[in-house]
Amino acid sequence: MMVKLIYNLGGGLPDPMVFPRSFSSPIIPFERTLSFQDLDEELIRLLKYRGIDASKDEILITTGSIQGIFIFSNTLLNDGDKVALEYPTFAGAIRVFKSRNVIPVKLPVIPYYDINIKDKIKAVYTIPTGQNPTGIHMKLEDKKRILEMAEERDFFILEDDAYGLLTPEEPTIKSLDKNGRVIYITTLSKVFSSGLRLGIMVAKPSLIEKFRDMKEEIDGGNSSISLSLLYGSLKDGSFWEGISRAKRIYEEKKVIMEEALKKYLPEAEWTRPEGGLFFFIRVKGIDSDQLQEKLARKVLISPGTKFFFDGNGKEYLRLSFSYSTPNDIEKGIEIISQEIYEMKKNSKV
Ligand SMILES: Cc1ncc(COP(=O)(O)O)c(C=O)c1O
């Protein structure tokens, strides 16, 4: 029997209302996969929105941020290199870095960034705008400082701007970078389409050349159907309408989730997200892996342990406000609070 999963507060799936309502017909010739002049120009414009002045030879289209992380780590890292990872960070990045056999070093972000990295690192991977899972922004002075540190101590900064288009007033580290220290990646999964698998990578031309070779080895380039749809939507403006809708919808849902958390889980602690799509909450004494099991088929959540590279984080859970309707957000949190109450009651017996 199929049991319906009712409330989805788990993954970071976008609200389907955000995506363009209709697509222009494909324009890019089907034989083009790695670049197309007119699309490049649209992407250059898109990057300017994030304060980045990039030329055509500094841009590579990927199938998403995860591919960007994969390309970066398989081109520039060696086994045993130390890489600073936000603690906690995006679970997909932890998987890629682990598979690359790097040694992770902590870059604490709770309650805010502490960028005093002491180890000799090869790179830092950061999501400085609307950080996943916490939703905080790195302060401008820390962005400047980490860039200075990268220059002084010769390491790369891999900046993942997955949520940047939702809070465009926050400057990217890449926009401050004069010497090509920063490799910038972003995804269009959150604002355009998750299924078309599109992302952008920006770096100095000598690196982009290496990344392009790696991309050709992996998949030979993106689907021209995805590229055509992106181009059409940038050209006719529906891409930008989607971004405006996204900002409005997510701001409303964020308030709804916060109210529901205050109402049903008054004992929970969190830092209010400044961007992104999530609340990362701590409920003392709980085991969020167990909670996830108990909630199975009722409410989807992301247990905190997914986001700490050493498996810590049992008392944390990440709740997404992007996908579910306002009613479902509220109902989902009510069910979570009941389950937590039951678990605490039973553990006292
Ligand atoms: C920080 C971050 N990077 C990348 C991704 C995934 O991006 P993509 O779907 O483009 O691989 C996500 C979302 O799931 C994310 O939170």
Residue-range definition of the domain harbouring residue 312: 7-15+240-348
Beta-carbon-side half-sphere exposure of residue 342 (alpha carbons within 13 Å): 10
Ligand 1 mutation target, pool 69, 124, 187, 302, most atoms within 8 A of CB: 187
Task: Say whether both 216 and 284 belong to one domain.
Answer: no
- The CATH number given to whatever domain includes residue 52 is 3.40.640.10
The single-letter code of the amino acid at 31 is: E
Question: Of 19, 66, 185, which is best to mutate to test ligand 1, by the most ligand atoms within 8 angstroms of its C-beta?
Answer: 66
The candidate with the shortest Cα–Cα distance to 160, out of 206, 126, 110, 189, is: 126
Q: Locate 56 and state its tokens.
A: 């055509």
The residue among 180, 215, 237 that closes a domain is 237
Overall size of the chain counted in residues: 349
Burial class of residue 91 in the structure, from the number of CB atoms within 10 Å of its CB (0-12 exposed, 13-18 middle, 19+ buried): middle
Residue 175 per-residue DSSP state: G
Q: Is 301 left (phi over 0), alpha (psi -120 to 50) or beta?
A: beta
Boundary (domain end) residue, out of 237, 262, 282: 237
- List pLDDT tens digits, range 24-62: 655 565 555 545 778 899 999 999 999 999 999 999 999
**Residue 2 falls within a domain, yes or no?**
no
The mean pLDDT of 316-331, rounded to a whole number, is 95
Identity at 76, one-letter amino acid code: L
Question: pLDDT tens for residues 211-249?
Answer: 999 999 999 888 888 888 888 889 888 899 989 999 999
Which residue's alpha carbon is nearest to atom 10 within ligand 1?
Answer: 64
pLDDT at 62: 95
Q: Which of 237, 254, 277 is the last residue of a domain?
A: 237
* pTM, entire model: 0.94
Query: What's the pLDDT tens digit per position in 125-170?
Result: 999 999 999 999 999 999 999 999 999 999 999 999 999 999 999 9
| Amino acid, single-letter form, for residue 61 | I
Dist. CA 185 → ligand 1 center (Å): 10
pLDDT value for 204: 97
The stretch 279-300 carries a mean pLDDT of 95
- Which residues surround ligand 1 with Cβ inside 6 Å? 12, 64-66, 90, 92, 127, 132, 160, 162, 187, 189, 199
The closest-lying atom of ligand 1 relative to the alpha carbon of residue 63 is 10
